[in-house]
Structure 1
């Protein structure tokens, strides 16, 4: 079976090359969709040196959803039926990916109702262990392109955050399985890690923070996706509500730009209420 991979680029540095090389030998083609406003010519030259890589520049930031839809459409037109989606800062240990690929092939050969297959962000098992349904991040996920087409792909109105959760919910509600392999670990970076606390003295611990600009999308899109699917997955969104409040607290109080973070969070809430994208 021929397999494709897609990676979305946004002002990448040279590390993206080694990240792609951690999995490109295990797939037939890697489609690199570049959302960078200004191209890094040195990085692009290095990428074009990867034998099975197809480079698709957008010349502007169309968002991760549009970039992934472009890669999925390109893959489908080339006859591929499964697509691995990766972030530019994600990678695999080669032994880990070889195991992942084999487990994917074993399960999709025998089961036609699988929509998405994903690895774990934290390795939970040394032997094959499956979580189902698995609502996880886009990066490292194998997408059944027939299913992608059936549910009308990624929602480009969301632009960046929650596009993975939105697709997962659509796929599950369409009657397809979401498989998570808990014995396969992917290396991935989520936001910026900071050791900080209130006044940098109290409750000091490692926290994940993002830019105020990103916080806007995190707030707006979470509320949009919650409204769409909360009634179908009450237990999942109950936990996600808790995680959302922690994310909001960490980003407002610890990102280093309090007033801008408050403004962007409020803007995200207002745009959600007004259904503005």
Structure 2
């Protein structure tokens, strides 16, 4: 008998794509759609589809936490997370769960398993410039942190690690969850057997072979503010603190020469510095703090 799987998709000013609707063809899958679009309540009705309109943009952390809560109520065994812009291959969910079970049999302290992520624009596999591949098992590469899109986790393990920290709202939410899992004795990683096409940011270019991903200006507010919050936490890796500080200082120097909206980005970064130092929040959430 196949395990029950919840797929949590977060929408923000986007429609539910055919890629997501096709997931309902599998009888063991419950599709949970959490809508962060302000003032919207779509008429989404189908067997095994749960639509949760939040009525406002409460952030990716709160939206995923709501989806996890619904997965619990639905009696699901596993949760898979998707962004609205992910291109989901046919049969992805059940293949990912089977891969999770296989690797978990070899690595019992597995927490979050992600696919090999391919850049939707360049078709290249995203590779870390600071992490060397460490193989913990066949076809499984350890990663200190992975992005949430396409990732799979056993619901029982979320009970041990906790929900997303929704004070962070959006940026580094998935990384913080991975670090907290590491701190509790779990590991995260990627399978090379499953691939997922993903689109990140609005623009890309390279500086000295370092990939620079340009996001919407408001994202730089959260990146800077959340960085200043996270560097105070003892379980956040020192290597990440140093590497991220360098990127937040060095990369923006190139923005006036490469990015059209560089002035707005600078304004948002300044706001992020101010609110990060003052512990001020910008952005709503439902539960306050998802850490349980």
Greater relative contact order, per chain length (Cα 8 Å cut-off, separation 6+): 2
What is residue 100 of structure 1 aligned with on the other side? 96
Report Cα offsets for 1:117-151 as digits up to 9, x if no partner.
Answer: 111223489xx621113411111111232332333
Partners of 2:95 and 2:248 in 1: CA distance = 33
Where in structure 1 are there 5+ consecutive unaligned residues? 198-202
Question: In 2, are the aligned partners of 1:82 and 1:142 still within 8 Å (CA)?
Answer: yes
Is 1:209 paired with 2:214?
yes
Alignment root-mean-square deviation, CA:
3.2
Partners of 1:99 and 1:84 in 2: CA distance = 11
Structure 1-normalised TM-score? 0.81
Partners of 1:251 and 1:21 in 2: CA distance = 39
Partners of 2:29 and 2:143 in 1: CA distance = 28
Structure 1 stretch displaced more, 129-138 or 110-119:
110-119
Is 1:30 paired with 2:54?
no
Structure 2-normalised TM-score? 0.77
Q: How does 1:97-136 map to 2 (within 5 A)?
A: 99-108=95-104, 112-122=108-118, 123=125, 129-136=139-146
Q: How does 1:147-158 map to 2 (within 5 A)?
A: 147-158=157-168
Greater helix content: 1
Task: Return structure 1 stretches of 4+ with deviation > 6 angstroms.
Answer: none
Partners of 2:240 and 2:212 in 1: CA distance = 22
Match of 2:7 among 5, 8, 12: 5
Q: How does 1:35-54 map to 2 (within 5 A)?
A: 35-39=36-40, 44-45=42-43, 47-49=44-46, 51-54=47-50
Where in structure 2 are there 5+ consecutive unaligned residues? 119-124, 128-132, 282-292
Aligned CA distance change for structure 1 residues 241 and 186 (closer, same or farther; 3 Å) = farther
Q: How does 1:158-197 map to 2 (within 5 A)?
A: 158-193=168-203
Question: In 2, are the aligned partners of 1:19 and 1:89 still within 8 Å (CA)?
Answer: no
What is residue 200 of structure 1 aligned with on the other side? none
Q: How many residues align?
A: 262
Structure 1 stretch displaced more, 219-228 or 153-162:
219-228
Question: In 2, are the aligned partners of 1:210 and 1:255 still within 8 Å (CA)?
Answer: no
Report deviation, 1:77. 2.4
